[in-house]
Amino acid sequence: MKTYLPLLIVLALASAYGFWWKRKQGAIRSNKAIPGHRLDAGVLGEALGSRATMVQFSSAFCTPCRATHSLLSQMVISMADVKHIHIDAESHLELVRELDIRSTPTTLFINKDGVEVGRAAGTPKREQVLVALAAIS
């Protein structure tokens, strides 16, 4: 008994989801911050940047985490007032829950007071990172 209907449904739904997922990958969004939450050196294990900090959450089963790490760590070399802090999501589950981080890599853009101004799920583009950092004063 052959039927093509389930196949068509799966391909249609998966394609729709795939396009939506691809479009939001790397986009830096400002509406996901937890109101009133502040990150500090005590929680992160490293001092914040004097102007901005990019806090990247990664996990072992994540291919784009590596690319994101090399992009961000390379970008901050030329920025004296911006820091990149890398965090293993799995060993910081409490923080992950507090911040409602669901996938890796997720990068939080925080200002000098530790307040989140935006976050990106997936690998952001260099230009997107520059724009987000420029908006932090």
Partner 1 sequence: MSEILEKPEVQKIYIDARGPRFSASITAIVLATALVTHNVWVLVAQGLIFLVGATAGPQFTPYGLLFKNLIKPRLKKEAPTEDVRPPKFAQSVGLIFALVGIFGAVVDRGLIFTVATAFALAAAFLNAAFNYCLGCEMYLLLVRFRSK
Residues of this chain that interact with partner 1 (CB under 8 A) are: 1-4, 6-7, 9-11, 13-15, 17-19, 21-22, 58-66, 69, 73, 85-90, 93, 96-97, 101-105, 122
Count other Cβ atoms within 10 Å, centred on residue 113: 9
Q: How many angstroms separate the CA atoms of 53 and 40, rounded?
A: 11
Q: How many angstroms separate the CA atoms of 111 and 51, rounded?
A: 6
**Least distance (Å) from partner 1 to the CB of residue 77?**
13
Q: Which two tokens stand for residue 39?
A: 């990150």
**Least distance (Å) from partner 1 to the CB of residue 63?**
5
Q: Which two tokens stand for residue 92?
A: 């910081």
Which CB, 17 or 80, lies closer to partner 1? 17
Q: By the 8 A CB rule, do 84 and 51 touch?
A: no
**Least distance (Å) from partner 1 to the CB of residue 60?**
5
Which CB, 1 or 77, lies closer to partner 1? 1
